[in-house]
Amino acid sequence: MKSIVKLLLGAVIITAASCSGNGKGGATDTDSTTSLNSNSTDAAMDSNKKELKAKDSTAVKADYEYAVKAANGGMLEVELGKLAQNKAISPQVMKFANMMVADHAKANTELKAIAASKFITLPAILSNDKQKDYDDFSKMKREDFDKAYIEYMVKDHKADIEEFKKEAKDGKDAELKAFAGKHVPILQHHLQMAEQAATTVKNKK
Protein backbone atom coordinates (compact mmCIF):
# COMPACT_ATOMS: atom_id res chain seq x y z
CA MET A 1 0.00 0.00 0.00
CA LYS A 2 2.79 2.46 0.90
CA SER A 3 4.51 1.74 -2.43
CA ILE A 4 1.33 2.55 -4.34
CA VAL A 5 0.89 5.84 -2.47
CA LYS A 6 4.51 6.86 -3.18
CA LEU A 7 4.08 5.98 -6.83
CA LEU A 8 0.95 8.10 -7.10
CA LEU A 9 2.57 11.04 -5.33
CA GLY A 10 5.56 10.86 -7.67
CA ALA A 11 3.30 10.97 -10.68
CA VAL A 12 1.49 14.04 -9.33
CA ILE A 13 4.79 15.87 -8.69
CA ILE A 14 6.11 15.06 -12.19
CA THR A 15 2.87 16.25 -13.78
CA ALA A 16 2.92 19.51 -11.80
CA ALA A 17 6.56 20.13 -12.65
CA SER A 18 5.94 19.53 -16.31
CA CYS A 19 3.00 21.98 -16.32
CA SER A 20 4.83 24.79 -14.52
CA GLY A 21 8.30 24.33 -15.90
CA ASN A 22 8.43 23.49 -19.61
CA GLY A 23 5.93 25.21 -19.76
CA LYS A 24 3.42 26.96 -22.05
CA GLY A 25 2.57 29.01 -19.00
CA GLY A 26 6.17 30.31 -18.72
CA ALA A 27 6.46 30.88 -22.43
CA THR A 28 3.15 32.71 -22.51
CA ASP A 29 4.27 35.10 -19.75
CA THR A 30 7.47 35.88 -21.66
CA ASP A 31 5.62 36.36 -24.92
CA SER A 32 3.14 38.68 -23.23
CA THR A 33 5.91 40.85 -21.79
CA THR A 34 7.72 41.04 -25.14
CA SER A 35 4.52 41.93 -26.91
CA LEU A 36 3.72 44.68 -24.40
CA ASN A 37 7.17 46.22 -24.71
CA SER A 38 6.99 46.10 -28.50
CA ASN A 39 3.56 47.69 -28.58
CA SER A 40 4.68 50.46 -26.22
CA THR A 41 7.71 51.27 -28.41
CA ASP A 42 5.62 51.36 -31.56
CA ALA A 43 3.06 53.59 -29.89
CA ALA A 44 5.74 56.03 -28.76
CA MET A 45 7.31 56.13 -32.23
CA ASP A 46 3.95 56.71 -33.85
CA SER A 47 3.17 59.46 -31.38
CA ASN A 48 6.46 61.23 -32.13
CA LYS A 49 5.92 60.95 -35.86
CA LYS A 50 2.42 62.36 -35.60
CA GLU A 51 3.59 65.21 -33.39
CA LEU A 52 6.42 66.17 -35.75
CA LYS A 53 4.19 65.85 -38.79
CA ALA A 54 1.53 68.02 -37.20
CA LYS A 55 4.10 70.62 -36.18
CA ASP A 56 5.71 70.79 -39.61
CA SER A 57 2.45 70.87 -41.52
CA THR A 58 0.52 73.42 -39.49
CA ALA A 59 1.94 75.71 -36.83
CA VAL A 60 5.35 76.52 -38.29
CA LYS A 61 4.92 75.73 -41.98
CA ALA A 62 4.67 79.41 -42.88
CA ASP A 63 7.79 80.16 -40.80
CA TYR A 64 9.80 77.51 -42.62
CA GLU A 65 8.62 78.82 -45.99
CA TYR A 66 9.65 82.31 -44.91
CA ALA A 67 13.11 81.03 -43.95
CA VAL A 68 13.62 79.40 -47.34
CA LYS A 69 12.46 82.49 -49.22
CA ALA A 70 14.58 84.80 -47.07
CA ALA A 71 17.65 82.63 -47.66
CA ASN A 72 17.08 82.65 -51.40
CA GLY A 73 16.66 86.41 -51.47
CA GLY A 74 19.64 86.94 -49.21
CA MET A 75 21.89 84.93 -51.49
CA LEU A 76 20.83 87.01 -54.47
CA GLU A 77 21.53 90.25 -52.59
CA VAL A 78 25.08 89.08 -51.90
CA GLU A 79 25.73 87.80 -55.42
CA LEU A 80 24.35 90.93 -57.10
CA GLY A 81 26.34 93.04 -54.64
CA LYS A 82 29.53 91.26 -55.65
CA LEU A 83 28.64 91.74 -59.30
CA ALA A 84 28.02 95.44 -58.69
CA GLN A 85 31.42 95.75 -57.03
CA ASN A 86 32.92 94.92 -60.43
CA LYS A 87 30.42 96.59 -62.78
CA ALA A 88 29.13 99.73 -61.02
CA ILE A 89 30.41 103.12 -62.13
CA SER A 90 28.72 105.42 -59.60
CA PRO A 91 30.58 105.68 -56.28
CA GLN A 92 27.24 105.72 -54.43
CA VAL A 93 26.08 102.54 -56.15
CA MET A 94 29.43 100.95 -55.34
CA LYS A 95 29.06 101.96 -51.69
CA PHE A 96 25.56 100.49 -51.63
CA ALA A 97 26.84 97.23 -53.17
CA ASN A 98 29.50 96.93 -50.47
CA MET A 99 26.81 97.33 -47.83
CA MET A 100 24.68 94.63 -49.49
CA VAL A 101 27.50 92.11 -49.46
CA ALA A 102 28.45 92.76 -45.84
CA ASP A 103 24.96 93.02 -44.32
CA HIS A 104 23.26 90.23 -46.22
CA ALA A 105 26.20 87.83 -45.82
CA LYS A 106 25.95 88.38 -42.07
CA ALA A 107 22.17 87.89 -42.10
CA ASN A 108 22.51 84.73 -44.20
CA THR A 109 24.95 83.24 -41.70
CA GLU A 110 22.60 84.05 -38.84
CA LEU A 111 19.63 82.50 -40.64
CA LYS A 112 21.60 79.35 -41.45
CA ALA A 113 22.43 78.86 -37.77
CA ILE A 114 18.77 79.18 -36.79
CA ALA A 115 17.67 76.82 -39.56
CA ALA A 116 20.29 74.21 -38.63
CA SER A 117 19.02 74.09 -35.05
CA LYS A 118 15.53 73.32 -36.36
CA PHE A 119 16.54 70.92 -39.14
CA ILE A 120 15.23 73.31 -41.80
CA THR A 121 16.86 72.74 -45.17
CA LEU A 122 17.76 76.04 -46.79
CA PRO A 123 18.61 76.37 -50.49
CA ALA A 124 22.30 76.06 -51.34
CA ILE A 125 21.96 77.74 -54.74
CA LEU A 126 19.69 80.39 -56.22
CA SER A 127 16.24 79.45 -57.43
CA ASN A 128 15.70 79.50 -61.20
CA ASP A 129 14.03 82.91 -61.23
CA LYS A 130 16.70 84.47 -59.02
CA GLN A 131 19.45 82.91 -61.14
CA LYS A 132 17.85 84.37 -64.26
CA ASP A 133 17.85 87.83 -62.66
CA TYR A 134 21.52 87.45 -61.83
CA ASP A 135 22.37 86.28 -65.35
CA ASP A 136 20.52 89.24 -66.87
CA PHE A 137 22.55 91.69 -64.78
CA SER A 138 25.81 89.92 -65.52
CA LYS A 139 25.25 90.44 -69.26
CA MET A 140 24.59 94.18 -68.96
CA LYS A 141 27.04 96.82 -70.12
CA ARG A 142 28.56 98.89 -67.34
CA GLU A 143 26.89 102.06 -68.53
CA ASP A 144 23.47 100.41 -68.19
CA PHE A 145 24.16 98.53 -65.01
CA ASP A 146 23.90 101.18 -62.28
CA LYS A 147 20.39 102.37 -63.08
CA ALA A 148 18.97 98.87 -63.60
CA TYR A 149 20.66 97.44 -60.49
CA ILE A 150 19.64 100.20 -58.09
CA GLU A 151 16.05 100.25 -59.35
CA TYR A 152 15.91 96.50 -58.81
CA MET A 153 17.23 96.97 -55.28
CA VAL A 154 14.53 99.53 -54.49
CA LYS A 155 11.78 97.20 -55.71
CA ASP A 156 13.31 94.12 -54.07
CA HIS A 157 13.74 95.74 -50.66
CA LYS A 158 10.18 97.02 -50.63
CA ALA A 159 8.99 93.43 -51.11
CA ASP A 160 11.45 92.10 -48.51
CA ILE A 161 10.30 94.60 -45.90
CA GLU A 162 6.69 93.46 -46.26
CA GLU A 163 7.65 89.79 -45.95
CA PHE A 164 9.84 90.40 -42.90
CA LYS A 165 7.18 92.54 -41.24
CA LYS A 166 4.61 89.79 -41.76
CA GLU A 167 6.89 87.18 -40.20
CA ALA A 168 7.75 89.50 -37.30
CA LYS A 169 4.04 90.00 -36.64
CA ASP A 170 2.48 86.61 -37.39
CA GLY A 171 5.35 84.13 -37.04
CA LYS A 172 4.85 81.14 -34.75
CA ASP A 173 8.51 80.17 -34.43
CA ALA A 174 10.04 82.47 -31.81
CA GLU A 175 13.58 82.55 -33.25
CA LEU A 176 12.53 83.16 -36.85
CA LYS A 177 10.04 85.78 -35.68
CA ALA A 178 12.80 87.55 -33.73
CA PHE A 179 15.17 87.30 -36.69
CA ALA A 180 12.61 88.97 -38.95
CA GLY A 181 11.88 91.72 -36.45
CA LYS A 182 15.57 92.43 -36.00
CA HIS A 183 16.15 92.83 -39.73
CA VAL A 184 13.15 94.99 -40.63
CA PRO A 185 14.93 98.26 -39.67
CA ILE A 186 18.08 97.09 -41.45
CA LEU A 187 16.12 96.47 -44.64
CA GLN A 188 14.41 99.83 -44.25
CA HIS A 189 17.83 101.47 -44.06
CA HIS A 190 18.87 99.58 -47.20
CA LEU A 191 15.76 100.86 -48.99
CA GLN A 192 16.50 104.43 -47.97
CA MET A 193 20.07 104.16 -49.25
CA ALA A 194 18.91 102.53 -52.48
CA GLU A 195 16.40 105.31 -53.12
CA GLN A 196 19.07 107.95 -52.56
CA ALA A 197 21.43 106.16 -54.94
CA ALA A 198 18.64 105.83 -57.50
CA THR A 199 18.07 109.60 -57.37
CA THR A 200 21.77 110.24 -57.84
CA VAL A 201 22.00 107.90 -60.83
CA LYS A 202 18.83 109.32 -62.39
CA ASN A 203 20.06 112.91 -62.14
CA LYS A 204 23.49 112.06 -63.49
CA LYS A 205 23.95 113.13 -67.06
Report, in angstroms and rounded to the nearest whole number, the Rg of the chain calculated over CA atoms.
34
Q: What is the CATH number of the domain that holds 84?
A: 1.20.1260.10
85 and 174 assigned to the same domain: yes
Q: How many domains does the chain have?
A: 2
14 domain-assigned: no
- Choose one of 36, 59, 82: the last residue of a domain: 59
Q: How confident is the model at residue 205 (pLDDT cuts 50, 70, 90)?
A: low
Q: How far is 135 from 129, CA to CA, in rounded Å?
A: 10
| 9 within a domain of the structure (yes/no) | no
Whether 6 maps to a domain, the answer reads: no
Residue 23 lies in a domain: no
Residue 72 covered by a domain? yes
In a domain, residue 189? The reply is yes
Cα 93 to Cα 7, 111, 146, 168: the distances in Å are: 111, 26, 7, 29
Residues 52 and 138 in one domain: no
Q: Which domain holds residue 41?
A: 28-59
**Is there a single domain that holds both residue 49 and residue 88?**
no
204 falls in which pLDDT band (50, 70, 90)?
Answer: confident
More confident of the two residues 105 and 10: 105
Does position 105 have pLDDT exceeding 50, yes or no? yes
Within a domain: 13: no
51 and 68 part of one domain: no
CB neighbour list of residue 163: distance below 8 Å, 6 or more residues apart: 66, 69, 70
Which of 107 and 9 is assigned the larger pLDDT? 107
Average pLDDT of the chain to the nearest whole number: 81
Torsion sign across C-alpha atoms 76, 124, 167, 183: negative
126 shares a domain with 114: yes
d(CA 72, CA 142): 25
Q: pLDDT tens digits for 45-65? A: 343 344 445 455 557 889 999
Do residues 46 and 70 share a domain? no
For residues 68 and 42, membership in a common domain is answered with: no
Higher pLDDT, 75 or 30: 75
Express each pLDDT in 145-180 by its tens digit. Answer: 999 999 999 999 999 999 999 999 999 999 999 999
Task: Give the pLDDT confidence of 3-22 residue by residue, as tens digits.
Answer: 433 434 344 444 444 444 44
Q: Give a yes or no: residue 53 inside a domain.
A: yes
2 pLDDT above the threshold of 50: no
Per-residue pLDDT at 60: 84
Note whether 167 and 91 are same-domain residues: yes
